[in-house]
Amino acid sequence: MATATSTTLAPISDSRKLRNHVATFAMYACFVIAMIPLVWIIWTLVAKGAGLLGDPHWWTNSQRGITSRIQGGGAYHAIIGTLLMALVTALIAVPLGVGTAIYLVEYGRGRIARAVSFMVDVLTGVPSIVAALFIYALWIGTFGLHRVGFAVSLALVLLMIPVIVRSTEEMLRLVPRDLREAAFALGVPRWKTIMSIVLPTAFSGIVTGIMLGLARVMGETAPLLILGPYAKAINTNLFSGNMAALPTMINQDRVEALKPAVDRVWSAALTLILLVMVLSLLGRLVSRLGSVKTSR
């Protein structure tokens, strides 16, 4: 005989319904609030910056001979500079970062491993300007060299390594121990197990981590300001001369109040975001090619 006071099959109580509604509303509200700045930024960038991007000159020319009174010009010099510095940074930081992560996950035991892990944590907290000044002291102070693109890359390496170590570490730890043991049980040495079983299994996650690191590094400005003076002309030599990058191009025109310069600031910012986005998509594609087989 079920009655309204039955405790076993009672309907959902009003207070629980209310709490459910409040919690649901709060979550949606948080989501919307978090989205506001993102949408706002993208909207502003597209609205103010898309104009110049439609002009082929933007993608093929430099700012050579363009003053702040002249409309347009190109961002090619800054795009190529950003890409070159990022590429060299990745070439140095990826092997070091992935290697450190492999050491920490597969080999590291005891005090040394704890020390390495602690150092990576410290490196994570190093502000970009400190990394830049460290390289400045080393590159210019100790070695007496000039401010060039490669020095910027070295500073960026310091910022990228901890990102790659931490993300790769996570991915390697996700590879089940069963798989390593299965390979060991076949008489496969440890290093070969890591190269042929563990790394391919974690490949897509590692690539995603590298792309995140790259995205962070491409937007860094402090190392550029300290180590990589801006140039309006195209320079593809990382070891000589001033070299443009998108953040310094933004910084260059930012100080001008004239409309043509302001337009270029927005367009360069939008270009940087697009560049990072394209690289992330490429990363997705690459990781999909070589990742875990799921087809039947």
Partner 1 sequence: MAKRIDTSGLDVFYGDFKAVEDVSLTVEPRSVTAFIGPSGCGKSTLLRTFNRMHEVVPGGRVAGKVLLDDEDLYAEGVDPVAVRRTVGMVFQRPNPFPTMSIYDNVASGLRLNGVKGRTLLDETVEQSLRRANLWEEVKDRLNKAGSGLSGGQQQRLCIARAIAVEPQVLLMDEPCSALDPISTLAIEDLIFELKNRYTIVIVTHNMQQAARVSDRTAFFTIAGAGKPGRLIEIGDTAEMFSRPSERATEDYITGRFG
Given the rule CB under 8 A, which residues bind partner 1? 109, 176, 178-189, 192-193, 196-197, 200-201, 203, 290-296
State the nearest-atom distance from the C-beta of 273 to partner 1, in Å.
33
Distance CA 13, CA 15 (A): 6
State the nearest-atom distance from the C-beta of 164 to partner 1, in Å.
21
C-alpha radius of gyration, the chain, whole number? 25
For residue 13, count CB atoms less than 10 angstroms from its CB and return exposed for 0-12, middle for 13-18, buried for 19 or more: exposed
Between 200 and 241, CB nearer to partner 1: 200
Between 186 and 255, CB nearer to partner 1: 186
User: 59 with 270: CB under 8 angstroms?
Assistant: no
- Which residues are CB-neighbours of 168 under 8 A, at least 6 positions away? 97, 98, 101, 102, 202, 205, 206, 209
Between 117 and 291, CB nearer to partner 1: 291
Between 158 and 175, CB nearer to partner 1: 175
State the nearest-atom distance from the C-beta of 50 to partner 1, in Å.
41
Q: At what angle do helices 76-102 and 259-289 cross, to 10 degrees?
A: 40
State the nearest-atom distance from the C-beta of 15 to partner 1, in Å.
44
State the nearest-atom distance from the C-beta of 187 to partner 1, in Å.
3
Residue whose structure tokens are 């999909």: 288
Between 1 and 185, CB nearer to partner 1: 185
